[in-house]
A and B are shown apart, each in its own frame.
Chain A
Amino acid sequence: MKNCYVARSPMVAARELGGDMVIMTAVNSNLFTLNEVASLIWKSADGATPLREIVEERICAEFDVDPELALADAEQLVKELLERGLVVVADRPVGSELKP
């Protein structure tokens, strides 16, 4: 998963509120909040940037954290987001937005 591409699902609603990300799924109206670090990964999940690069360039640049540990945590987060239908994961770049 380290080199996977992660894109926000187009079937969710999301907005930042006081540093946290609020997300709701369209299908079953499940509501989630992400903390500051998870929110940063969420916002960076553009489907064009590999997860490893997101962690290295966004997380490690902003937080004093061991890169390998951060990557392991990020992988776990992406796995959980995937299980809840909040992201799409692929081994090649993937679209994250609705087509304008």
Chain B
Amino acid sequence: MTALMEELNARARQLGVPFNVHLDVTYRCNERCVHCYLDHDDHGEMALDEIKALLDQLANAGVFFLTLSGGEVLMRMDFFDILRHARKLMFNVKVKTNAFMIREKEADLFRELGVQTVQISIYSHRAEVHDAITKLPGSLRRSVAAIRLLKSRGLNVTMANVLMRQNLNDYAGVKALAGELGVQVMTDPTITPKMDGDRSVLSMGLRSTQLDNVFRDAELVGNVDEFCAPPQPADDAVLDGIPCSAGHSYCYISPYGDVYPCVQFPLPCGNVRKQEFLDIWRQSRQLNEVRSIRARDLPTCSSCSHVGSCTRCPGLAYMEGNMRGPSSLDCEKSSARTGIPSANMIAKALHSPSQDAMNSTLVPMPGLNLVQITTLT
């Protein structure tokens, strides 16, 4: 992030401006990705007029960055009407799509309407792997063809490469494919629970040993020593800091008009069908509670050695039962990255009745083997 962008985000937070909003226009999708957290049935998504009115409100509220996503956005026949209205209001629009339905005409429209970025999910460079994840035959071929069309029109395209057990060995191939296509790729080993709380999809996430290897691949993380360095002691700036932008300068709106702090934070804060967006943004008790949390308020994480560098997601913590609690998925990442177990992992291991005899091995120190801890917990 550039210094100017950081400054603008800080200013938005200071002013209480929702600078960045993610709007899912539908949960319907033509793919059925094995790890997806959504229910793809339509339970009453907002009509075009409702979305246009919402976009008017978002523009008036000061939203600059608008992510339009789903589901698959192009499942809506009126998607380009939504996009056209959004661009008329001068939002900086990022579209997340699987690109299966992007042909010449759609690519032309993305360009004509001045979309900032098109983000496309690619799971593998091999059709048999990608298509097995999306459960849509031909999806890799179509998505890659769409990337070529978009690039030929000068659009900014990024690939989103979610890593899971099914495609763990393919991220280097995806990176090579991205290089060939001239697009950036973002690799993310985060699998999230379903919106309804079902955590079964987490079984597809990488094992600790696999994360360990991923985080030590210089091709992926750059400087491994820097990326995997032990955490620095937290100072007051860290402890007084906010966990992330959720609820501060960012929020998520579902196709049904529900407002949440983040797409990964299913805490209902209001509904734009019943209230003005700005009233929800400013007055929601839930959003104000999220905003009030500082790192030093976190009962376990404030004393964790990783507090200053952990990617702790308050939404994932909420889905575990407590928005002020640890996010175990992020504990695993911090631990895999540095080899040092988190305070949460140590506490869990210490309180595991069957592991009393092994407590003596649970001293948090650099280099402690992650596998031991995972086994203990």
Contact = CB atoms under 8 A, between A and B. Distances in A.
Contact residues of A: prevailing secondary structure = strand
Given A17-B8, A22-B64, A98 B2 contact: no
Interface in A8-56: 8, 10-18, 22, 24, 26-27, 29, 31, 33
A17 B15 CA distance: 9
B23 to A, nearest CB: 15
Interface residues of A, number: 20
Interface residues of B, number: 28
Contact of A22 (B8, B88, B154): B8
A53 B138 CA distance: 57
B88 A98 contact: yes
B64 A26 contact: no
A14 B116 contact: no
Contacts of B8: 17, 22, 31, 33
A27 B117 CA distance: 9
A55 to B, nearest CB: 23
Interface in B92-113: 92-93, 113
Interface in B108-139: 113-117
B4 interface: yes
Interface of A: 8, 10-18, 22, 24, 26-27, 29, 31, 33, 97-98, 100
> Which are the 3 A-B pairs with shortest beta-carbon distances?
A13-B92, A15-B64, A26-B114
Interface of B: 2, 4-5, 8, 11-12, 15, 17, 19, 59, 62-64, 84-85, 87-88, 90-93, 113-117, 154, 156
